[in-house]
Amino acid sequence: MIQDEQSKHVSPTRSEGGVTTAPTLSAADEIAELKAENARLKTLLIGRELPSDDSEVEWPTEITYDQLPHSGARLAGITKQREKIRPTTDFPELPQPTRDEAQLQADFIRWGYCLVADAMSPEQIQTQIDRLLDQAAAERAAKVAHLSHRGNAQLVFNLLPKGQVFRDLIAFETCAASEGPLVERLMEKILGRGYYLGTAHGSIVHQNGGREELHQDQGFVPLPHPPYPLYGLLIWLYTDFSLEEGGTYVVPGSHREASGRNCIRADVDYEQLAEGRLMALTAPAGTCALTDSRLLHSGGARTASGTRLASRMLYARGMMRQQENQLACVSDEILDNLSSKLKGLIGFKPYYGLGMVDGNAIDPDKPKVHVGELSMSRPEEFDQDFDWKYTQNAKQLAELDWESCAEYLGSS
């Protein structure tokens, strides 16, 4: 019954690929929302002006704030049109890797992304790769892995507890990224002071893996969006990105107009923005890409042999959070005795892929045995009784015919 209920909220992308970090929602539910909202907005926009005298306005009497549309469903299927995707290097006006801070800011404003050149040294890249591949192999051996695209890609969720090298990179330390301070300054300009980490995960994409649906990283926020990004995504490139190598797909300039108004609005055909403008990010290893969370983008399909490696770290404006950190100020004893309803109210209720624990965005809870730092050099760690193996998320992955690296130990 739980599995049937959860399947209503699984997007076609997740059903086909198995794992995605893009905001997810049932396509049927979202299309219904969008049709209703579009019809309402069109009636308001056809030559209608509000009277200056508020007393002449007929006030609504029913609360409909829960019916605002999201941006996702109308974008489904676009990234399958591979023959229309061009490399970003075909267009000289688009951002090029640079360390000129003024140019990086101009690129970010104009195109919705910028590229920090040589943000990591070759030695720093190799350090990240070694730890990421070791962790990924260990998660497969321990049967707690998140594979997708019929086994041709793997996400290593929750990098924070999985290695000091990851923690240093999250914090922009120069020991992990030589241009970390430059990236950090840009992030503060984008998100303001007090921003915080939303997620950090490693991405491993082999041939035939990687494609996602086009989305906004703040696509879980109902429209209309404010005229500034609520989140900022960093993609640290550990290997070269190109069309064949699975470079992230972007629609440059799809985040805003010159006036500052958002391009993605319920009253426009924003899915047409990708027509002839969907491109594969092309940049060398060591680059750090910063993206505006309003930018239309997706994971790119890799057609070349070999493996594309990267980490993706999403940071959020300080206001996008609870006023009190309920999970930090509740003891384990109290938490163990809370009802499922109350657990949901304090944070253990997933929303559009938000609120995941150990990669679980279906039925998250506070684990007693987290999937932390693992290594192929310590195989004795693989036999831990990981809470994740008892989740519906583990069941969903373990039931896929190509999934042999996820184990479900809960009741059927």
Structure confidence at residue 36 (pLDDT): 57
Structure confidence at residue 176 (pLDDT): 98
Structure confidence at residue 220 (pLDDT): 93
- pLDDT tens digits along 131-158: 999 999 999 999 999 999 999 999 999 9
Q: Does residue 42 belong to any structural domain of this protein? A: no
- Say whether pLDDT at 246 is over 60: yes
Q: By mean pLDDT, which of 103-117, 370-384, 396-410 is the weakest?
A: 396-410
Q: CB of 366 within 8 A of CB of 348?
A: yes
**Structural domain that includes position 102:** 73-316
pLDDT averaged over every residue in the chain? 89
What mean pLDDT do residues 388-400 have? 94
Q: Does residue 85 belong to any structural domain of this protein? A: yes
Share of the chain above pLDDT 90, in %: 76
Q: Does residue 91 belong to any structural domain of this protein? A: yes
CATH code of the domain in which 123 resides: 2.60.120.620
Structure confidence at residue 147 (pLDDT): 96
- Please state the domain count of the chain: 1
Count of Cβ atoms closer than 10 Å to residue 263 Cβ: 17
- Say whether pLDDT at 167 is over 50: yes
Binned at pLDDT 50, 70 and 90, residue 392 comes out as very high
Structure confidence at residue 352 (pLDDT): 86
Binned at pLDDT 50, 70 and 90, residue 37 comes out as low
Q: For residues 15 and 25, what is the distance between their CA atoms, to the nearest angstrom?
A: 11
Q: For residues 187 and 292, what is the distance between their CA atoms, to the nearest angstrom?
A: 10
Helix (H, G, I), strand (E, B) or coil at 202: strand
Q: Does residue 193 belong to any structural domain of this protein? A: yes
Structure confidence at residue 50 (pLDDT): 53
- Say whether pLDDT at 280 is over 50: yes
CB-neighbour burial class of residue 100 (10 A; exposed 0-12, middle 13-18, buried 19+) = exposed
Binned at pLDDT 50, 70 and 90, residue 13 comes out as very low
Q: Does residue 49 belong to any structural domain of this protein? A: no
Q: Which residues pair with 307 in a beta bridge?
A: 206
Share of the chain above pLDDT 70, in %: 87
What mean pLDDT do residues 51-60 have? 72
- Say whether pLDDT at 12 is over 50: no
Binned at pLDDT 50, 70 and 90, residue 67 comes out as confident
What is the largest distance, in Å, between two alpha-carbon atoms of the chain?
A: 74
- Say whether pLDDT at 92 is over 90: yes
Structure confidence at residue 5 (pLDDT): 41
Structure confidence at residue 292 (pLDDT): 98
Structure confidence at residue 296 (pLDDT): 98
Q: Does residue 333 belong to any structural domain of this protein? A: no
30-210-312 Cα angle (round to 5):
85
Structure confidence at residue 49 (pLDDT): 53
Structure confidence at residue 17 (pLDDT): 56
Q: Does residue 64 belong to any structural domain of this protein? A: no
Q: Does residue 82 belong to any structural domain of this protein? A: yes
Structure confidence at residue 2 (pLDDT): 35
- Say whether pLDDT at 129 is over 70: yes
Structure confidence at residue 15 (pLDDT): 44
Q: By mean pLDDT, which of 40-44, 176-180, 206-210, 212-216 is the weakest?
A: 40-44
Binned at pLDDT 50, 70 and 90, residue 164 comes out as very high
- pLDDT tens digits along 323-361: 999 988 989 999 999 999 999 999 898 888 889 999 999
The β-bridge relationship of strands 86-87 and 279-280 is parallel
Helix H or strand E encompassing 107? helix 101-111
Binned at pLDDT 50, 70 and 90, residue 4 comes out as very low
